Amino acid sequence: EIVLTQSPATLSLSPGERATLSCRASQSVSRYLAWYQQKPGQAPRLLIYDASNRATGIPARFSGSGSGTDFTLTISSLEPEDFAVYYCQQRSNWPPFTFGPGTKVEIK
């Protein structure tokens, strides 16, 4: 099973700042990595798939990069609605599809 680790666990930033979230896989997942956003009491929302493709309706301030074992989600300028938990997920080697433990982006 591929294990995903995310860092940092919590990111404290102010609106307008740049957020950089990291996801590392225990073995190569090629580019088969997605990012999801989840707000309290809500379902997850797909942001990025296959490392760098924005999902439908996702603003351009969200971007993804990486391949192999190291991936990054960047939010270029945080909007108030971006404060949430972000999960990465791999689909390279399954079952199971696995998720990272999440990074919480909180208001500083």
Partner 1 sequence: EVQLLESGGGLVQPGGSLRLSCAASGFTFSNFAMSWVRQAPGKGLEWVSGLSSSGGGTFYAESVKGRFTISRDNSKNTLYLEMNSLRAEDTAVYFCAKDRDSGYYQGVFDYWGQGTVVAVSS
In this complex, which beta carbon is closest to partner 1, that of residue 68 or of residue 101? 101
Binding site for partner 1 (CB under 8 A): 34, 36, 38, 42-46, 49-50, 55-56, 87, 89, 91, 94-102
Using alpha carbons only, what angle is made at residue 11 by residues 6 and 15, rounded to the nearest 5 degrees?
135
Residue 47 to residues 26, 75, 108, Cα–Cα distance (Å): 22, 11, 23
| Residue 81 Cβ vs partner 1, minimum distance, rounded to whole Å | 18
In this complex, which beta carbon is closest to partner 1, that of residue 17 or of residue 102? 102
In this complex, which beta carbon is closest to partner 1, that of residue 77 or of residue 94? 94
**Taking a C-beta distance cutoff of 8 angstroms, is the pair 4, 71 a contact?**
no
